């Protein structure tokens, strides 16, 4: 008679679930990773999850497909900390640059996210951008769907999400003549300066230059938010049953952790006239910095000019004046003197003669 223990039955029952979770947490294909590693437009160590697939031999990545639901994640499998171990007093800064396109439709769009470890195992069942239910994340959403539940401005905006899908800062792209989901390739820059605790987001068409002023600027202390914890960065896109067919593609993504001195800020003027509170404060700060720089430059130039003039006068005195012959004052000759005979007439006093 065959016997089996409860423990062995439980193990055999849980084994398929364990294998499923293990495979779900792994990237789709090592060939896909190698294709991206050979593409200089992508940072190394990028893995694909969900529906993400490499297209055209590694030229770009398709995150979602024109069917619903669909979700894909690009994850940089190299964690970092906002606590700089080399300099505890100065947390880590970062800079991200990526290009993407969204096809016409009412998908969720695309989001650049900073997430805790383990997010990749559950993002496919988490709704919008895979972030629904998460309370510890930073997201930059390029949203093409208006959701009144989270207070979306419209179906063409960029928002900053902190632990919630309700954005803390929003930029209306329609006012900037930009459309997210018309199939055009766009380019975005996301920068965080730890010294000023300023997060900045820029967006332009692919062939345009990097904008001077961000479309969004928001003060946040990411060191206070994450501390010494390992965090990951990723790009995610999702669609759901309520979305119309759409697809999203990523053509490049470069991410680097950087160390910025406390006196350096990137705060140029906005050529499109977009201004928000944080941008105004930093614009004034940059103006003061530029005025001091110009004044210091003028003082330095004046000092250099004076020093150069002194050196030139000194060299002129040494090299030129030593050859100058000054006329010698003539001495008086004997012919310049003459003697004159003076006849002195002495009158005798008659009284004296008598004596």
Q: Which range, of 59-68, 107-116, 135-144, averages the lowest pLDDT?
A: 59-68
Judged against a pLDDT cut of 70, whether residue 204 lies above it is answered with yes
Q: Does position 286 have pLDDT exceeding 60, yes or no? A: no
Which is higher by pLDDT, 282 or 169? Answer: 169
Q: What is the mean pLDDT of the chain?
A: 76
Q: Is residue 338 pLDDT above 90, yes or no?
A: no
- pLDDT at residue number 331: 55
Beta strands (DSSP E) in 136-278 are 138-143, 157-162, 169-172, 186-193, 198-205, 216-219, 231-239, 248-258
pLDDT digits (tens, 9 = 90+) for 9-65: 444 444 444 344 444 444 555 556 666 777 888 988 888 988 889 988 778 999 988
- Give all domains of the chain, ordered by start, each with its CATH number: 43-259 (2.60.120.200)
Residue 148 has what pLDDT? 84
Q: Are 48 and 29 in contact (CB under 8 A)?
A: yes
**Burial of 268 by CB count in 10 Å (0-12 exposed, 13-18 middle, 19+ buried)?**
middle
SS3 per-residue string spanning 103-164: CCCCCCEEEEEEEECCHHHCHHHCCHHHCCCCCCCEEEEEECCCCHHHCCCCCCEEEEEECC
Query: Is pLDDT above 80 for 109?
Result: yes
User: Rounded to whole angstroms, how far apart are CA atoms 337 and 328?
Assistant: 21
Q: What is the pLDDT of residue 11?
A: 41
Q: pLDDT tens digits, residue range 221-251?
A: 999 999 888 999 999 988 876 656 678 999 9
Q: For residues 293 and 345, which has the higher predicted lDDT (pLDDT)?
A: 293
Looking at per-residue pLDDT, the higher value among 205 and 246 belongs to 205
Mean pLDDT to the nearest integer, 55-81: 85
Query: What is the CB neighbour count within 10 angstroms for residue 183?
Result: 14
User: What pLDDT score does 263 carry?
Assistant: 43
The predicted structure's pLDDT at residue 104: 85
- Tokens representing 150? 């989270």
According to the model, what pLDDT value does residue 306 have?
86
Categorize the per-residue pLDDT at 156 as very low, low, confident or very high, splitting at 50, 70 and 90: very high
Predicted pLDDT of residue 159: 95
What is the pTM (predicted TM-score) of this model?
0.66
- Under the banding of pLDDT at 50, 70 and 90, the label for residue 345 is low
β-pairing, 248-258 with 169-172? unpaired
pLDDT at residue 206 in the model: 92
pLDDT band of residue 98 (cuts 50, 70, 90) is very high
Identify the band that residue 162 occupies on the pLDDT scale cut at 50, 70 and 90: very high
- Distance in angstroms (rounded) separating the CA atoms of residues 130 and 61: 18
SS3 180: coil
- Per-residue pLDDT reduced to its tens digit, 305-329: 888 888 888 787 777 665 555 555 5
Helix, strand, coil shares of the chain, percent, nearest 5, are 30, 30, 45
Range 134-143 average pLDDT: 90
pLDDT for 116 equals: 87
Nearest to residue 111, comparing CAs of 86, 134, 84, 88? 134
What's the rounded Cα separation, in Å, for the pair 163 and 135?
4
Which pLDDT score is estimated for 312?
83
What whole-number distance in Å separates Cα of residue 260 and Cα of residue 31? 36
**pLDDT band, residue 128 (cuts 50/70/90):** confident
More confident residue, 119 or 188: 188
Q: Report, as an integer, the average pLDDT of 336-341.
A: 55
For the cut 70, the answer to whether the pLDDT of residue 81 exceeds it is: yes
**How large a percentage of the chain has pLDDT more than 90?**
28
Predicted local distance difference test score (pLDDT) of residue 4: 41
């Amino acid at each position: 008679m065959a016997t089996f223990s409860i423990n062995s039955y439980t193990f055999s029952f849980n084994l398929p679930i364990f294998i499923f979770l293990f495979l779900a947490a792994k990237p789709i294909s090592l060939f896909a990773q190698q294709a991206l590693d050979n593409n200089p437009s992508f940072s190394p160590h990028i893995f694909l999850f969900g529906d993400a697939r490499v297209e055209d031999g590694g030229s770009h990545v398709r995150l979602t497909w024109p069917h619903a639901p669909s979700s894909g994640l690009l994850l940089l499998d190299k964690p970092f900390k906002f606590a700089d171990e080399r300099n505890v007093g100065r947390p880590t800064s970062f800079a991200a640059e990526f290009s993407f396109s969204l096809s016409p439709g009412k998908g969720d769009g695309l989001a650049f996210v900073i997430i805790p470890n383990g997010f990749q195992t559950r993002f496919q069942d988490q709704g919008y951008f895979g972030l629904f239910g998460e309370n510890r994340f930073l997201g930059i959403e390029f949203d093409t769907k208006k959701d009144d539940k989270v207070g979306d401005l419209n179906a063409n905006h960029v928002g900053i999400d902190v632990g919630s899908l309700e954005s803390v800062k929003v930029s209306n792209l329609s006012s900037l003549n930009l459309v997210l989901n018309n199939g055009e390739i766009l380019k975005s820059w996301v920068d965080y300066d730890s010294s000023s605790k300023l997060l900045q987001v820029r967006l332009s068409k692919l062939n345009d230059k990097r904008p001077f002023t961000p479309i969004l600027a928001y003060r946040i202390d990411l060191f206070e938010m994450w501390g010494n914890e390992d965090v990951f960065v990723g790009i995610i896109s999702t669609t759901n049953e309520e979305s119309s067919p759409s697809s999203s593609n990523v053509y490049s993504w470069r991410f680097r952790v950087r160390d910025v001195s406390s006196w350096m800020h990137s705060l140029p003027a906005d050529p499109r006239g977009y201004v928000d509170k944080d941008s105004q404060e930093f614009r004034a700060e940059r103006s003061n910095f530029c005025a001091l720089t110009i004044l210091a430059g003028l003082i330095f130039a004046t000092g250099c000019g004076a020093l150069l003039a002194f050196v030139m006068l000194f060299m002129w005195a040494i090299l030129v004046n030593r050859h100058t012959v000054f006329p010698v004052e003539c001495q008086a000759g004997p012919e310049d003197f003459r003697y004159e005979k003076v006849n002195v007439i002495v009158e005798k006093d008659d009284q004296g003669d008598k004596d």
